[in-house]
Amino acid sequence: MRRYPPIADHGLIGDLRTAALISSDGVLDWFCAPRFDSPTLFAALLDHDRGGHFTVAPADAEGATTRQLYLADTAVLVTRFLTEEGVGEVVDFMPPAGLADPGDRQRVIRVVRVTRGTVRFRLECRPRFDYGRGTHRLDADRDTARFTGPGTTVFLHLGGDAAHPVELVRDGADVRSDLTLRQGQRVAAVLTVCPGTGMPPPPRPTEATVRDAFRATYDHWHRWVRRSRYRGRWQQVVNRSAITLKLMTYAPTGAPVAAVTAGLPERLGGERNWDYRYTWVRDASLSVKALLDLGYAEEADAFRRWLGDRVAAGATVTGEPLQIMYRVDGDPHLPEELLGHLEGYRGSAPVRVGNDAAGQLQLDIYGEVAYALAHAPDAAPALDTARAPDSVHAPDMARAPDMARLAGYDGWRNLAALLDWLARNWDRPDEGIWETRGGRRHFTFSRLMCWTAFDRGIRLATALARPADVAGWTAARDAIFTQVMERGWSERRGAFVQHYDGEVLDASLLLMPVVGFLSPRDRRWLSTLDAMEAELVSDSLVHRYDPRASPDGLRGDEGTFSLCSFLYAGALARAGRVGMARYAFDKMLTYANHVGLFAEEIGPTGEQLGNFPQAFTHVALIMAALALDEELDRAGD
């Protein structure tokens, strides 16, 4: 077991309530339960010694060659080990909620099997409750272990066939087992998480129940992927990104998390180590159009309902109508806490859980809310969203049928009140999209998205014939447009800039043509694109901004942002620079990990950094692929 495998050296499994990371060594080194934002049960990724892990790997791991892959179009992960004595593999999956298990339990199923020769495996299960702060009690017999920790009970069942009995051995408060399997033999290790203590054990898994759980999980993902109507040039890549986004969505509420991890560094040894296991209004809202374009109207509508509930509740820790992020159940409280007892990934400390950025003022989120609500799932078939342009250019919007809660009186009144508030408050400095901790400024991107909020609100009021202060919203929209053109544009730089008080470039403005503020071939936009290419782009990889030119209140530098790199490819495509766009997109795909996943950033030597996987990166990948397909089709390529 490597002390700290590369961040990218992991596959992701999940049950639509939480998820686990499994390295190519066969080590489950990140798992929170019962939700994405719950305390960890295994967190060796943040502290090798104190975090806890669940390992299934060859006993002679140093002599093994490993390969990791997904079964096509599923979230079933296979880790293969090629040794001198034989070939073995571990098949990992989590049955989605309700599949083959009617109880309120979550299961990680690890099937160990040998396909050639003989392989000796070692199994170690060492949970560490509550980020490694909680103690637990172990009760174990020959093939079952029960770990009782703070508020949670974890059961491990180990099952082989009658010809190959298996046994768990106590190792302090943990368990281990030595498994020697020959070709055709298999053992299933089933980890079951139950809420509360004093819980009765779940039914003992059998070979038949494990097989049924695998089949149900496999079929579930194939049925889900078949709902996609994407048939473009990058189908496998887009499908994997869509599955990843689905794995990162909390099914009971429809809210996606930004990433499944906390504390992974944006720079090794640095302090930029944040907790991303929450729902950012911005990230999730911008995913709605991508999901609709792929045909996943149910997922888009589920998030829109969650978002509508946040608008209606108005409960925030900031006193503003909305805050930038929430827990997956809508709870606005995310107090930040330092876990000083954890070493951090390769010494990157402090490790943080919770996120104080929830208290920041970021006015752009109101634009993203309106952008999400302006795309009606019910309208998707009529608009043919796989090929339709953004609604800002689509007069067919007026034909849209009523849109669930938004079309109802209460839903519309809540949105109208939000825009009325924004009409009085848009001209304020804020912390901006990147959640800098260097003070508030008049960020151009925040103004851009405030313009988007009023533009979509006006269009919705007209399309749905709803009462609204259209005159007031129109005045605010036009004032923002004029302000951005006059103060957000630098004649000297020939580009739109990050904020009104400087001339720093910012890759967030790559969304400017996406929301329809300017044509993607407007001369000012093309000039901005040229300036970004000269200053922010390095071999197709894109920096958010230059922190040395625009201090953000944090020490150290950072890598390139994968989100921005995909936005850049999409912007090139829309600008008619299709050859450059395709080259940038295809090069960016080479930075994916071995199973097609992206973290937040790419470091100076090509390594993935930051929390993993990052949903926004996969959203931007889908957006770029769709834009490229459209432009390539138009060009006849």
Does residue 12 carry a pLDDT above 70? yes
Residue 386, pLDDT score: 28
Residue 75 lies in a domain: yes
Most distant CA pair in the chain, distance: 79
Average pLDDT, stretch 235-257? 97
Q: Which residue has the higher pLDDT, 272 or 469?
A: 469
Centroid of chain to Cα 208: 34
Say if residue 219 is in the same domain as residue 259.
no
Q: Does residue 183 share a domain with residue 155?
A: yes
Helices 235-247 and 207-226, interaxial angle, to 10°?
120
Q: Which of 585, 561, 574 is nearest to 511 (CA)?
A: 574
Are 136 and 237 in the same domain? no
Domain-located, residue 385: yes
Residue 163: pLDDT band with limits 50, 70, 90: low
Please give the radius of gyration of the chain, using alpha carbons only, rounded to the nearest integer. Answer: 25
CATH number at residue 147: 2.70.98.50
Asked whether residue 2 is assigned to any structural domain, the reply reads: no
Instruction: Report pLDDT for 464.
Output: 87
Same domain, 143 and 281: no
Q: Which domain holds residue 94?
A: 10-224
Q: Is residue 524 part of a domain?
A: yes
Same domain for 606 and 500:
yes
Residues 565 and 476 in one domain: yes
State which of 224, 239, 265 marks the end of a domain. 224
73 backbone dihedrals φ, ψ, rounded to 5°: 60, 35
- Examine residue 3 and state whether it is found in any structural domain, yes or no: no
Q: Are residues 460 and 520 in the same domain?
A: yes
Region 377-398: what's the mean pLDDT? 30
* pLDDT number for residue 446: 98
Is residue 165, in this structure, part of any structural domain at all? yes
Boundary residue ending a domain (199, 224, 249): 224
Q: What DSSP element (H or E) covers 118?
A: strand 106-126
Pick 609 or 384 by higher pLDDT: 609
Q: Pick the most confident of 55-69, 246-260, 390-404.
A: 246-260
CATH code for the domain of 331: 1.50.10.10
* Same domain as 268, residue 197: no
Residue located via tokens 């060594």: 25
Given a cut of 50, is residue 154 above it in pLDDT? yes
Of the candidates 348, 328, 344, which has an alpha carbon nearest to the alpha carbon of residue 132? 344
Show which of 189, 224, 259 is a domain's final residue. Answer: 224
Do both 334 and 445 map to the same domain?
A: yes
Q: In this structure, how many other beta carbons lie within 10 angstroms of the beta carbon of residue 143?
A: 18
Question: What is the arithmetic mean of pLDDT over 513-531?
Answer: 97
**pLDDT for residue 391:** 35
Query: Residue 504's pLDDT is what?
Result: 95
My answer on whether 280 and 426 are in the same domain is yes
Q: Does residue 301 share a domain with residue 243? A: yes
Where does residue 404 fall: left (phi above 0), alpha (psi -120 to 50 degrees), or beta otherwise?
Answer: left
Do 123 and 255 lie in a common domain? no
Burial class (CB in 10 A: 0-12, 13-18, 19+), 270: middle
Is 90 within 8 Å of 110 (Cβ atoms)?
A: yes
Query: How many Cα neighbours within 13 Å face the side chain of 21?
Result: 28
Total structural domains within the chain = 2
